[in-house]
Structure 1
Amino acid sequence: MMGILQFISAASLLCTASGFPKRHFHYVNEPKTWKEAQSHCREKYLDLAVITSLEDVTTLNNMVEVLNVAWIGLYDDVNSWRWSYSDPNFYQGGEAEFRNWLHGEPNNMEGNEPCGAMWATGEWIDVSCEISMKTVCSDVEGRNASFIFINQTMSWAGAQSLCREHHTDLASVRSTSELEQIKELLQSVGEDQAWIGLYRNSWTWVDGSSFSFNHWASSEPAGPEENCAAAALDDGGRWQDWPCSSSMPFFCYEGPVFKQLVKVKLVKSSSLDLKDAAVLEDLLKKFEQKLKDSGVEGDVKLSWKEQSEGEIFLREE
Structure 2
Amino acid sequence: MTNHLPECYFLYFVIFFFFVIIILCLLAERDHGEVLILGSDKNWFEAQEYCRTNHTDLVSSSILKDCNGGYIFIGLFRATWSWSDGSSFYFRLWDEEYYNTDKKLHNCSKLTENGRWSTDDCGEERPFICYQGKYHVILINKNRTWEEALYYCRHHHHDLVTITNLDEQRWVQEKTKNATTPYVWTGLRYTCTLGFWFWVSDEVVRYKNWASPDQVNECDMSGAMETGGEHKWVKINDEEKFNFFCSTT
TM-score tier (shorter): under 0.3
Normalising by structure 2, we get a TM-score of: 0.28
Structure with greater strand share of residues:
2
Which of 1 and 2 has higher RCO (CA within 8 Å, sep 6+)? 1
